Chains A and B, each alone.
Chain A
Amino acid sequence: MLGVLFRRVLGALPVLAIVSLITFGMIHMIPGDPAAAIAGMSATAEQIANIRSDLGLDQPVLDQLWHWYVNLAHGDLGRSLLLGIPVMTATLQRLPVTLALSAYALVLTLILGLGSGIVAALKQNTWIDQAAMVLAMIGISLPNFYLGLLMIILFAVDLGWLPTGGYVPLWQNPIGWLATSTMPAISLAMLLAGLLARITRSTMLEVLRQDYIRTANAKGLPRRQVVLKHALANALIPITTVVGIIISLLISGAVVTETLFSIPGIGQLLTQAVLSRDYPMVQGGLLLTTALLVLINIGVDVCYALLDPRIRYDG
């Protein structure tokens, strides 16, 4: 098991090195003078010069790159121009908000996606199967911000059941958190539940065709036991591999969902940073989020290896 972990971490290092190089290079891809672009239209020459020296843009590129990596090694990602606090601090402050929302959405995704996928596979070619797959298709095709807006129109504006947006921290008021997070979590989960339902259905159908399932049925085992112990346990292994993709899509989805529902998470932080040309925040936030995703994917791979004794990543 340690071997799998070691191998995956080793494989992730070059990826992270290139990811950090790309994020470093971003500020140099700005057409024209990056310092002038950051300072904005009305800036004086002096302000532009200040920004240039603050960000070290007046130094040779290789020196800048060296400093970037030295600072990275110290966990220093620079200072947000907009907030005036270190990028690392700003990101870590917002991270729990995004993680709590993502976890809520992930729970909804697993319940809806796995549930409807399993039922659709067991009732293959019936109206239940077809209805589940039509719903999954709509879930995949419904843009999450459109779903969010439709829910705001219905549940917040017309019915007045839920607030249109805002945020209450989970640890201060769990009920308030549920009220403000439920619509965002549903709008995030629909796409993912649709994807998961389709994958679960096709994987389950494949497993249910196997000989050992026929044997288990022929032995007269109860249906529930065959489905849960024999079929689902084996179907879950390939399904695990998409969890990494689902988490990546959750983070992407959080960007727009948080902005739509005014939830102060990482997505909203980065959107504001982009809109206000806060490049250190954009670079640092992008790098940290991606690094986090790489780590999560390593975790998923280790779980995959734990679940399936055939996989050893040897040879």
Chain B
Amino acid sequence: MDEDDRRTHPAWATLGRLMHHRLFVLGVILFAIVAIAAILAPWIAPTDPNKLAMRFKFRPPSEEFLFGTDNFGRSLWSRVIWGARLSMLIGSSVVVINAVFGTLIGALAGYFRWLDNGLMRINDALMAFPAVLLAIAVTAVLGPSIADVIIALGLVYTPRTARIVRASVIVLREMEYVQAAIAAGAGHGRILRRHILPNAMAPLIVQLSFLFAVAVLTEATLSFLGVGAVPPTPTWGNIMAEGRQYISDAPWIIAIPGLALMITVLGLNLLGDGLRDVLDPRLRIQP
């Protein structure tokens, strides 16, 4: 590939349009701040997030304690940064689960008519539950570990992803080039992999970026309610739940992790909006 080819390649054109989308760039920056903090946690927050130091308790944010300390004198800087690591871990795991199983279920249901009815009824049933309620009930059943929270969120949100993939596959299956490939004797696997799924990627990518935000938010909600990862695990929801008691004396215990959560969700929402505008302008706002 020489210089010219690279510049005219469609992927570069898309990237160029994304870089001109100001809100997308803002979203990427906000998300990158959190992601980089999460990756660099052992270096930028070397203090153990669970290290107790009662003599330092309830210190407001200062030079010594950037984000202040909590009721046990734990450094909120460490707890919030390590909390970012857990949020990113859970968010990206849920995205991977959705990308794999959502695509698989959506492609099978959209492509093989005889599978469609059965798969989509189960899908509809899972989507009929209020999302947070189902997630809470599943963690109640499985247990309150990080792995169980990931499984619960995967179960709650994969049907939504499957439905989006299925909608694209149904449209693409009827396209003439796909019909031509079938007539030429291509196998189902090859048609799905080579001809249908690559063209179904745009709505999927948009969905996954919003899903990342929703997963981070729902995880925080679960741990805030006390049904997520068990304290003293430093998740943003846990920190805020513990800070509730001291809301009038030490409001920073709640305000700072909440702000981190909001920056993450806002960044991902802006990023998702930008991707949708550029990759798939036909898509409307998806709640």
Residues of A within 8 A of B (CB): 14-16, 18-19, 22, 26-27, 29-31, 137-138, 140-143, 145-146, 149-150, 152-153, 157, 195, 198-199, 202, 242, 245-246, 248-249, 251-253, 255-256, 259, 267, 270-271, 274-275, 277, 279, 282-283, 286, 289-290, 293-294
Q: A277 touching B140 by the CB < 8 A rule?
A: yes
Minimal Cβ-Cβ distance residue in B for A14: B121
Beyond A149-B254, A195-B285, A245-B287, is A286–B134 a contact (Cβ under 8 Å)? Answer: yes
Count of chain A to chain B residue pairs whose CB atoms are closer than 8 Å in the complex? 135
13 CB-based A-B contacts, threshold 8 Å: A16-B125, A137-B269, A137-B270, A142-B262, A143-B265, A150-B255, A255-B132, A256-B132, A259-B225, A271-B136, A274-B140, A275-B226, A283-B137
Q: Is B124 an interface residue (CB 8 A)?
A: yes
Q: A245-B287, A252-B130, A271-B227 in contact; A18/B248 too (CB < 8 A)?
A: no
In the bound complex, CA of A25 to CA of B284 (Å): 36
Instruction: Contact check, B132 vs A15: say whether CB atoms are below 8 A apart.
Output: no
With A138-B266, A202-B285, A275-B227 as known contacts, state yes or no: A31 contacts B143, CB within 8 Å: yes
Q: What's the nearest-Cβ distance from chain A to residue B159, in Å? A: 11
CB of B227, distance to nearest CB on chain A (Å)? 6
Chain A, residue nearest B270 (CB): A137
Is B129's CB under 8 angstroms from A286's CB?
yes
Contact B121 A15 (CB under 8 A): yes
Write the B241-263 contact mask toward A (1 if CB under 8 angstroms, else 0): 00010011001001100100110
Assess whether A143 is in contact with B248, with CB atoms less than 8 Å apart.
no
Residues of B whose CB lies within 8 Å of any CB of A are 121-122, 124-126, 128-134, 136-143, 213, 217, 220-221, 224-227, 240, 244, 247-248, 251, 254-255, 258, 261-262, 265-266, 269-270, 284-285, 287
* Shortest beta-carbon distance from A153 to chain B in Å: 5
B262–A251 CB distance below 8 A: no
Identify 10 new A-B residue pairs, CB closer than 8 A, beyond the known A242-B287, A246-B287. A15-B128, A18-B125, A26-B137, A31-B143, A143-B217, A145-B240, A150-B258, A157-B248, A271-B227, A289-B130
A81→B216 CA distance, assembly (Å): 32
Closest B residue to A200 using CB positions: B285
How many angstroms from the CA of A138 to the CA of B26 in the assembled complex?
14
- Known contacts A271-B136, A274-B137, A290-B130; A143/B266 CB under 8 A: no
Cβ contacts under 8 Å, A246 to chain B: 287
Residues of chain B within 8 A of A199, CB atoms compared: 284-285, 287
**B227 A143 Cβ-Cβ under 8 A:** no
Contacting residues, chain A, for B266 (C-beta < 8 A) = 137-138, 141
B129 CB contact (under 8 Å) in A149, A195, A282, A290: A290
